[in-house]
Amino acid sequence: MKLPELKIDKLTAKLPLIQGGMAVRISTGALAGAVASTGAIGIIGASGMAFDELRKEIAIARERAAGGIVGINIMFAARDFIGIVQAAIQEKIDLIITGAGFSRDIFKYGKDGDTPIVSIVSTARLAATAEKLGASAIVVEGKEAGGHLGTDQSVWDIFPEVKKAVSLPVIAAGGIINGAEMCRALKAGAAGVQMATRFVLSDECNAAPSFKQRYQTATKDDVVLIQSPVGMPGRAIKTAFVEKILADQAPKPAGCDFCLKKCSFKYCIIQALINSQKGDIDHGVVFSGEYVWKIPDRSIKPAARIVKEILQEAAEAGC
């Protein structure tokens, strides 16, 4: 089986692979550009970035992408959601992927800016709504994903329902950790797959060494679900801070800049993510997909090599 190209609106990626956008500052321009240069789609995790910072990261990604496709991921729960969308469109970003809630307004901005909008959904109903409103593609994300989750169902259970509900390209996401699972998704009718967790262990990932080391040492039992102040469950790797969250003993925010539209104020998720990204994982949350412990080789290497390994794994699985 020859790997298909991934077509989203006017864009055509040589490889049916999207590197998932990881906030806060885990996937920045360096990683997105490195992945885009391979023929896959590179994504900047824009949530938590200031507008000028995002513009700089888009420029970095462009420099490294060698003409490849670069997008952003922005979660709807962020208070600066529309501002981030507008800044990215002004910078002529190739596409915008959005999840952690559902925006109807974003499709108008996408249409006005001639920018494809890709919706992350976990139900066939929402996928159909996104198509009706003007989405260019759908990412169907299952419970296996890292970060904020919209379902407790497996991607393999949801995908067939979403595929039947829309005529758009449908991209499978959530727990897809190797080329064999990419091959499985493609054979099931997916236009491509989105992988995030695997790319944390790349040279270009902007996470601190201690963050990456937690990925390298995580066992199956270390991967847990926590409740986020966003109002959604999240999947993370155990740290001292995560243990406090699980025990309902996490410290309440000392201050707040109201970065979210809605927040329970149980603890500051943004600060916890910033702490871990900078290396203070004992006071931070390390988001991860469910199967981080299944990554075939957890050494740190260039993103281009990771893509090459995924393609080799897919070939060995019959793709």
What is the CATH number assigned to the segment(s) 6-206+293-316?
A: 3.20.20.70
Tell which wins on pLDDT, 168 or 147.
Answer: 168
Residue 189 has pLDDT above 70, yes or no: yes
- pTM here is 0.93
pLDDT tens digit string along 259-269? Answer: 665 667 787 78
Task: Give me the mean pLDDT over the 104-132 stretch.
Answer: 93
Neighbouring-strand partners of residue 12 = 7
At 129 the pLDDT is 94
The region of weakest confidence among 156-165, 166-175, 243-252 is 243-252
Task: Give me the mean pLDDT over the 3-15 stretch.
Answer: 97
Tell which wins on pLDDT, 150 or 10.
Answer: 10
At 191 the pLDDT is 97
At 262 the pLDDT is 67
At 268 the pLDDT is 79
Taking CB atoms within 8 Å and a gap of at least 24, the contacts of 104-112 are 104/133, 106/81, 106/82, 107/133, 107/134, 107/135, 109/82, 109/85, 110/134, 110/136
Residue 116 has pLDDT above 80, yes or no: yes
The region of weakest confidence among 90-104, 117-131, 137-151, 246-260 is 246-260
Residue 68 has pLDDT above 80, yes or no: yes
pLDDT tens digit string along 203-247? Answer: 999 999 999 999 999 999 999 999 988 787 889 999 999 999 999
Report residue 62 as tokens: 């462009």
Task: Give me the mean pLDDT over the 33-50 stretch.
Answer: 95
At 228 the pLDDT is 84
Mean pLDDT, the chain, whole residue set: 92
At 161 the pLDDT is 95
pLDDT band at 75 (very low <50, low <70, confident <90, very high): confident
Residue 78 has pLDDT above 80, yes or no: no
Task: Give me the mean pLDDT over the 299-307 stretch.
Answer: 98
At 100 the pLDDT is 76
Q: Where are the CATH 3.20.20.70 domain residues in the chain?
A: 6-206+293-316
Task: Give me the mean pLDDT over the 26-49 stretch.
Answer: 96
